Amino acid sequence: MELRSVEELMDLLYACRGVTDTPVPGGAAVDLHDHALRSAALLRRSRPADKELQVTALVQPIGRLLRPGDAHGRADRAADALRGLLGERVAGLVRRYPWRGGPADDDVLSLRHAEEESRSAGFDAGVLEDWRTVLELLAARNSRLGAVD
């Protein structure tokens, strides 16, 4: 599946509401939708200029919906679905999302930190609709870049 519009992506992100996951063995279950909003909001504070990094935290839960029974294939499936819409960097970061392990650069460390902090963060992270404009801007930029290549 390849996402063709921000609207399709928003539908998937809304579908994450009420879906829970336990990111740490033995840890408390978290709502994917709320967790993603908090992680993205934390990155908005710590890395305000890096919209792609913020969006990575926001969109990574879609892998759970795209590959419900395949924990190892989720990130790959999500990355493949997002690449055409949001670009190579977001797709690559989703593929390397913190729960997968592997090499850690500054971006991955920032994602890990936000993911961990968001489990206990008690603040209003806003609503998904707050991110629509950022998603549309990234999609438009990626579309222009793809047309040039």
pLDDT digits (tens, 9 = 90+) for 2-11: 999 999 999 9
pLDDT at 98 over 70: no
Averaging pLDDT over each range in 15-29, 108-122, 128-142, which range is the top one? 128-142
Q: Say what the pLDDT of residue 67 is.
A: 87
Look-up of token digits 């290549």: 149
Closest Cα partner for 59 from 22, 13, 108?
13
Band (pLDDT 50/70/90 cuts) for residue 15 is very high
The backbone torsions φ and ψ at residue 13, rounded to the nearest 5 degrees and listed phi first, read: -65, -40
Q: What is the pLDDT of residues 34-59, one digit of tens each?
A: 999 999 999 999 999 999 999 999 99
